[in-house]
Amino acid sequence: MIVYLINNTYNSSVAKLNDRSLLPITKSSNLIPHTYITPLLNRHYVKPKLKSQLIKIADDINSENNKHKLSYLDANFPFIDGFPLLPHLSHKDGRKVDLSFYYTKDKEVGNLKPSKSGYGHFVNPTNQEFNQTRECKSNGYWHYDYTKFLTLGSREDLEFDQENTKKLLNKIVEDPLTQKILIEPHLKKRMNLSNNKIRFQGCHAVRHDDHIHHQINE
- Domain extents in the chain: 2-216
Could you report the per-residue pLDDT of 46-98, keeping only the tens digit for each?
999 999 999 999 999 999 999 999 999 999 999 878 888 988 889 999 999 99
Give Cβ neighbours of residue 176 (< 8 Å, ≥ 6 apart). Answer: none
Could you report the per-residue pLDDT of 157-205, keeping only the tens digit for each?
999 999 999 999 999 999 999 999 999 999 999 999 999 999 999 999 9
Could you report the per-residue pLDDT of 103-136, keeping only the tens digit for each?
999 988 889 999 999 999 999 999 999 999 999 9
Please state the pTM of the whole predicted model. 0.91
Q: Is the confidence at residue 6, as pLDDT, over 50?
A: no
- Distances in Å between the Cα of 8 and the Cα atoms of 25, 27, 138, 154, 162 are 12, 18, 43, 29, 36
What pLDDT score was predicted for residue 11?
Answer: 61
CATH number of the domain located at residue range(s) 2-216 in this protein = 3.30.1380.10
What pLDDT score was predicted for residue 5?
Answer: 47
